[in-house]
Amino acid sequence: MKRNKFLLAGILFLILIACNQKKQDDKSEKFFPVLSFLQGQIADIDTSLYSIKKIVYTDSLHSDTTWIKREEFRGLAKDFLAIPDISGKKYKKNYTEEKLYDESLNRVILSYKPLKPDNAEIQKQEILITPNIATGDKVSSIIIEQLISNKDSSVQKNMLWRVDQSFQVTTISQKPGEPETVYTMKVTWNEVDEK
């Protein structure tokens, strides 16, 4: 009988420790949900009346500008929708978060970098936030650096999302024995000229 009491006490002790650990995990800082934010931006454009323009550059030379249909926008933004969600449990433990304030830009910068860059698809994510006490803080830009490697080639994607305005994806491809190719696609829908 005494032995059963000790066994029961031990089990209860382990349950309490597990519950306490879960509470501590819930209180840990959360990463900015980049993928969810971008999905919201894309959903907004899906229902908008914006004129959408696509500009394509190949190897830094201007090559083509076209107007696109709203229905095509999601397909053009596929690189952003395909990024791993580093704010999720599967990836979060592999990244660090740094918070900075850049006085010259008047921006708060949330920067996420991998603990082991050699094994990480997402090399960097930065969220630039414009602080405003009166109207509330607003995300202004998201910068993502992605590296996809396999045995015979590597693809680096530098992506910039300017909130409510435009996005740009620069793809740098390298195959063995061949010159590097650079392809840039910029899509605008509500771009504001900055003087």
Reported as a single tens digit per residue, the pLDDT across 162-194 is 999 999 999 999 888 888 889 999 999 987 765
In tens, the pLDDT along 112-154 reads 999 999 889 999 999 999 998 888 899 999 999 999 888 788 8
Q: Six-digit token pair at 9? A: 């006490």
Q: Residue 18's domain spans which residues?
A: 1-27
45 burial type by CB count under 10 A (0-12 exposed, 13-18 middle, 19+ buried): middle
Give the model's pLDDT for residue 193: 62
**Do both 97 and 62 map to the same domain?**
yes
Q: How many domains does the chain have?
A: 2
Q: Comparing 23 with 123, which gets the higher pLDDT?
A: 123
Q: Report the C-alpha gap between 28 and 88 in whole angstroms.
A: 13
Say what percent of the chain tops pLDDT 90: 60
Q: 63 with 22, same domain? A: no
